[in-house]
A and B are shown apart, each in its own frame.
Chain A
Amino acid sequence: DAKTTQPNSMESNEEEPVHLPCNHSTISGTDYIHWYRQLPSQGPEYVIHGLTSNVNNRMASLAIAEDRKSSTLILHRATLRDAAVYYCILKETSGSRLTFGEGTQLTVNP
């Protein structure tokens, strides 16, 4: 499985934008980039995914580098409820298993 590298932790202030980086230099041409997050005492929750183009949904935006070797999850206005571990995952085209790394622990300060 292609690997991803994320910072262990990041901090943000409430109502400010948050940019969560992910490096995936060994990504293959057909790997999708998925982001999940896990709030305390809950199972992981799907956030967003993309292949080549930038993507937006109601939760976040995903900016993908032109060479696809890195991506950034953008939370436009962080809330206290966004405090969670964020996982960047490369999803293979064969099968639907998710290979989680350590993720980034996001702390949101009031």
Chain B
Amino acid sequence: DAGVTQSPTHLIKTRGQQVTLRCSPISGHKSVSWYQQVLGQGPQFIFQYYEKEERGRGNFPDRFSARQFPNYSSELNVNALLLGDSALYLCASSLWAASTDTQYFGPGTRLTVL
């Protein structure tokens, strides 16, 4: 079975641009979460979506937005990119949005902002 997939693998943007990252969850999983991992640190929670509704938001500015589609795939959008947005963006899927759920992570999208 395919795991969580993310696209693109790598991305280079310049300051002020906008970026869209994509995630396909494991088949049957209805919840998708997004995390940002800056080099040398642990991942930081950005969003969780379940059944197309936002279920949680981390401490990130409004430049960050996301959505989930009827097939449970998800997009993360970041507007007005800053140098500090350079990071590995991880998507994780789980069956539900319950606290006991195990989250399965994709390989991430490496975003570099110049």
Contact = CB atoms under 8 A, between A and B. Distances in A.
Interface of A: 32, 41-46, 49, 85, 87, 91-103
A102 B43 CA distance: 9
B42 A45 contact: no
13 contacts: A43-B4, A43-B106, A43-B107, A45-B105, A46-B104, A85-B42, A95-B48, A95-B99, A96-B94, A96-B96, A98-B103, A100-B42, A103-B42
Given A45-B105, A102-B42, 11 more contacts: A46-B104, A95-B56, A97-B45, A97-B48, A97-B56, A98-B35, A98-B43, A98-B45, A98-B103, A99-B45, A100-B42
Nearest to B110: A41
B48 A43 contact: no
Interface in B87-112: 90, 92, 94, 96-108
B15 interface: no
B45 A93 contact: no
B42 A93 contact: no
Contacts of B94: 96
B5 to A, nearest CB: 11
Nearest to A49: B102
Q: How large is the interface on B (under 10, 10 to 19, 20 to 34, 35 or more residues)?
A: 20 to 34
Nearest to A91: B99
A85 B42 CA distance: 9
Contact of B108 (A43, A45, A96): A43
Contacts of B4: 43
Contact of A100 (B44, B56, B97, B104): B44
Contacts of B31: 96
A102 B41 contact: yes
Given A43-B105, A44-B43, A87-B42, A95 B97 contact: yes
Nearest to A31: B99
Given A32-B99, A95-B56, A44 B45 contact: no
Contacts of A103: 42
